A and B are shown apart, each in its own frame.
Chain A
Amino acid sequence: MARNEPPTDFTVENPSAPLLEVDDLRVHFNTDRGIVKAVDGVTWHVEAGETLAIVGESGSGKSVSAMSILGLVPSPPATFPTGDIRLRGRSIRKMPEKQQRKLRGKEIAMIFQDPLTALNPVFKVGDQISEMIRVHQQVTRTNARKRVLDLLGEVGIPNPGVRINQYPHEFSGGMRQRAMIAMALANDPSVLLADEPTTALDVTIQAQIMQLLEKLQEERNTAIVLITHDLGLVASHADRINVMYAGRIVETGTCDDVFYRPQHGYTFGLLSSLARMDRSRQARLIPIKGVPPSLSHVPPGCPFHPRCRFATEACSAELPPLESVNGGLHRAACIHSDQVALAFAERTAE
């Protein structure tokens, strides 16, 4: 930043800012085993109409970073040593709680992994969706109900008139997720956070749900942040990808970039351990050796180095910054990114 620029005021909206922006977010938990750094310096953004995928294993921090956006991380025990989250340039974290609450479900909505446990079992589905609407908009019960029927139809639930009075356990898994989506989109949010939306579902239903999300995104120009560990899902539905490991982003870029030209040891490991149909004869599958680190004892330097086949001494010394090789938007936090790229190219050539 040039020295003469006036400091940016993050309490008002900034039309030129990205729709949703996470800036150097850190989420640390105080536990009796030490400080767990669930999210440790994460920066990304998403624009209207695009789908950003955040990929990582359990414990990589992907869910926590999403939940922090909505303020769903209980604090204590969580602390936020640094970082900001901004919607259209306006800081969410600096807002008083009441204002943050107004955003939840209205500007930013979230759908969760297991729709059976994510919906309240003792209330009718229709009532739960209706509640979403009436909390944020001044509508009568009858009008809200009409809107719910429309929504149920939009997400492809047959017989909405009957379903609206049923309870979550009377729905099938796929229909429950559709209902959750209907609920999330009831107030036409600008951003939809989808935390493992298809993990708990059957394979065929997964595809349907993702198609539904895409269709709705097209119609409403919603930004979607897709949090998942399923690379296949990402490949077919995301525009850009952040790969997370141990609370940090280790690689980011477009789908093509990351899938065909990975530049981080971890991404390489992920992709190499997958069986792929587009290879004639399977090269050896290379699993990633070792286990992900405990987040209270993250290895020094690059957190992945103990398991990385490209690691050298230098990797444990300092944390590599997330930067691009050729100046583009494809960035990786690896000092051996050229080696990685080379090794990957060799593998795919087999």
Chain B
Amino acid sequence: MTTPPQSGQEPDTHVPAEALMTTFEAPEPDAEVAGNGGKEGYRRKPGQFKEIWRRFKKNKLAFVGLIVVAILMVIAIINPFITPYDPTEQNLANTNAAPDGAHWFGTDDLGRDLFSGILYGVKLALIVGWSVMLLSMLVGVALGAISGYRGSWVDSIIMRSTDVVLAFPYLIGAILIVQVFGNGIITVIVALVVLSWPTAARLMRGSTLSLREAEYVEAARSIGASDSRIVVRHILPNAIAPTLIFSFSHIGVAIVAMASLSFLGIGVPADIPEWGNLIADAVPYLKIDGKSHLWVFPSAAIVITTLAFAFVADGLRDSLDPKLR
């Protein structure tokens, strides 16, 4: 809605725009993210990061999630130093032992210390999670931006490719790729990236499309900025938000996917103490008393990790654009 139009045959009698300001709600003291005064939609300024961070902190769940993620990262990085035992060291004399002073989480069916195994699993999960997130975002953002900005046949090809990839149910697709290229952590990462980039690309394309017609883009074009410059400097910073949020929330999905695959015996080799593997090993002992530690601890690890990343992603979404809530 723009300025109020005049009424047909009468002399020009419309009320000036300033008299029509809505002040039912007092304006928010903090300015909105994209669209700061004169430099509308320019690259995010450092001041905006503070603003985003402030909003993020307000969300208790997200903040807790962030702390948990930080702890997990630390665990992953200093991993060899904090595992009481070598996670792969087997001790066939002491298998499936319940938790006790020597082994805080007990031992698994190969006699490996479960606590060390779980910690090792953190490292694995985070490596896979972050790799998938970063790589799929890289590919998705690049292709999505090109697709949205260029349009025409480039757009068609990229979109058709996303259609084909998205035609595969997530697990089936992953299984297929791993079947073809063999087991291994790298294959799992590749498989998950292949399955994740289409959604990232579509989100990026969507926001690129809507920003492509924005006025500041027109302005940049009119002063002769080249296409790539426009995309990178003007569109990208603003369009990237939905994709960023999606990719972040996708970390948990990737970790669960990897665990699911190894649970089914695919992907990560069975002798590596990855959470999915550990749970798979626990299946024969499910109804046996005293052995519940075998599945409870890895499951808890997965749930905590997934929830932590999910909360952070939620918080990110709320703080990047409060209106989305």
User: Do A and B interact with each other, yes or no?
Assistant: yes
**A contacts, CB < 8 Å to B:** 33, 36, 38, 57-59, 198-204, 206-207, 210, 229-233, 235-236, 270, 273-278, 285, 287-288, 291-296
Alpha-carbon distance between A233 and B15 when the two chains are bound, in angstroms: 11
Contact pick for B23, options A59, A204, A277, CB 8 Å: A59
Point out which of A38, A201, A231 has the most chain B C-beta atoms below 10 A from its C-beta. Answer: A231
CA of A288 to CA of B18, assembled, Å? 9
Number of A-B contacts (CB under 8 A): 96
Closest B residue to A296 using CB positions = B26
Q: How far is the CB of A64 from chain B (nearest CB, A)?
A: 9
* Inter-chain contact A33/B26, CB cutoff 8 Å: yes
Q: Which residues of B contact A203 (CB under 8 A)?
A: 5-8
Contact B21 A233 (CB under 8 A): no
How far, in angstroms, from A23 to B313 measured CA to CA in the complex?
52
Tell me which of B9, B13, B16 contacts A287 (CB under 8 A): B16
B213 within 8 A of A: no
Q: Is B20 an interface residue (CB 8 A)?
A: yes
What's the minimum C-beta distance from A304 to chain B, rounded to whole angstroms? 12
Complex interface: chain A residues within 8 A of B15 (CB): 57, 229-231, 270, 273-274
A58 and B4 contacting across the interface, CB-CB below 8 Å: no
> Does the CB pair A274–B14 fall under 8 Å?
yes
Contact present for A200 and B1 (CB under 8 Å): yes
Contact of A207 among B4, B8, B23, B24 (CB under 8 A): B8
**Would you list the 7 A-B pairs with minimal beta carbon distance, nearest first?**
A207-B8, A277-B11, A232-B7, A232-B13, A59-B24, A232-B10, A58-B22
CB distance from B5 to the nearest CB of A (A): 5
Residue of B nearest to A207 (CB): B8
- CB-nearest residue of chain A to B9: A207
Are B23 and A232 closer than 8 Å at their CB atoms?
A: no
Which one of A57, A231, A236 lies within 8 Å of B14 (CB-CB)? A231
Task: Report which of A38, A59, A202 forms a contact with B22, defined as CB distance below 8 A.
Answer: A59
CB <8 Å contact, A273 and B13: no
Q: Given B1, B12, B22, which contacts A199 in the complex, CB threshold below 8 Å?
A: B1
Given the complex, which residues of A lie within 8 Å of B172, measured CB to CB? none
Residues of B within 8 A of A276 (CB): 11-13
Known pairs A59-B24, A230-B15, A276-B12 / 20 extra A-B pairs, C-beta < 8 Å = A57-B21, A58-B24, A199-B4, A199-B5, A207-B8, A210-B7, A230-B7, A230-B14, A231-B14, A231-B15, A235-B10, A236-B7, A273-B15, A274-B13, A275-B12, A277-B12, A291-B23, A294-B23, A294-B26, A295-B24
Residues of chain A within 8 A (CB-CB) of B20 are: 57-58, 229
Interface membership of chain B positions 21-52, coded 1 if the CB is closer than 8 angstroms to chain A and 0 otherwise: 11110100000000000000000000000000
B77 to chain A, nearest CB (A): 44
Binding site for A on B (CB under 8 A): 1, 4-16, 18-24, 26
Distance in Å from the Cβ of B263 to the closest Cβ of chain A? 42
A-B contact pairs, 29 of them (CB 8 A): A38-B24, A57-B20, A57-B21, A58-B22, A59-B23, A59-B24, A198-B7, A203-B7, A206-B7, A206-B8, A207-B7, A210-B8, A229-B4, A229-B15, A230-B15, A231-B13, A231-B14, A232-B6, A232-B11, A233-B7, A236-B7, A274-B15, A275-B12, A276-B13, A277-B11, A291-B18, A291-B21, A293-B23, A296-B26
CB distance from A248 to the nearest CB of B (A): 15
Q: Which of B1, B9, B18, B19 has the most CB of A within 10 A?
A: B19
For the complex formed, measure the closest distance between the CB of B232 and the CB atoms of chain A, giving whole angstroms.
37
Interfacial chain B residues near A277, Cβ < 8 Å: 11-12
Interface of A is mostly: loop
Q: Is the CB of A292 within 8 A of B21?
A: yes
Closest to B21 in A: A291
Contacts of B6 in A (CB 8 A): 203, 230, 232
- B19 proximity list for chain A (CB < 8 A): 57, 270, 273, 287-288
- What A residues does B4 contact at CB under 8 A? 199, 229-230
B4 to chain A: closest residue by CB:
A230
Specify which chain B residues have a CB less than 8 angstroms from the CB of A273 in the assembled complex.
15-16, 19
B221 to chain A, nearest CB (A): 30
A277 CA to B4 CA in the complex, in Å?
18
CB distance from A28 to the nearest CB of B (A): 13
The distance in angstroms between the C-alpha atoms of A322 and B191, with both chains bound, is: 76
A232-B13, A287-B16 as given contacts; A206 in contact with B5, CB under 8 Å: yes
State the Cβ distance, B67 to closest chain A Cβ, in Å. 29
In whole angstroms, what is the CA distance A139 to B5 when docked?
41
A202 contact set on B, CB distance < 8 A: 5
What A residues does B7 contact at CB under 8 A? 198, 203, 206-207, 210, 230, 232-233, 235-236
Min CB–CB distance B169 → chain A (angstroms) = 30
Q: Are B8 and A204 in contact (CB under 8 A)?
A: yes
Task: Specify which chain A residues have a CB less than 8 angstroms from the CB of B13 in the assembled complex.
Answer: 230-232, 235, 274-276
With a cutoff of 8 Å between Cβ atoms, the chain B residues found around residue A229 in the complex are: 4, 15, 20
Q: How far is the CA of A230 from the CA of B12 in the complex (A)?
A: 10
Closest chain A residue, CB of each to CB of B12: A275
Q: Which residues from chain A contact B5 at a C-beta distance below 8 Å?
A: 199, 201-203, 206
Contacts of A57 in B (CB 8 A): 15, 19-21
CA distance A207 to B9 in the complex (A): 8
Expressed in whole angstroms, the minimum distance between the Cβ of B22 and any Cβ of chain A is 4
Residues of B with C-beta under 8 A to A200: 1
* Alpha-carbon distance between A294 and B8 when the two chains are bound, in angstroms: 33
Complex Cα spacing A204 to B14, Å? 15
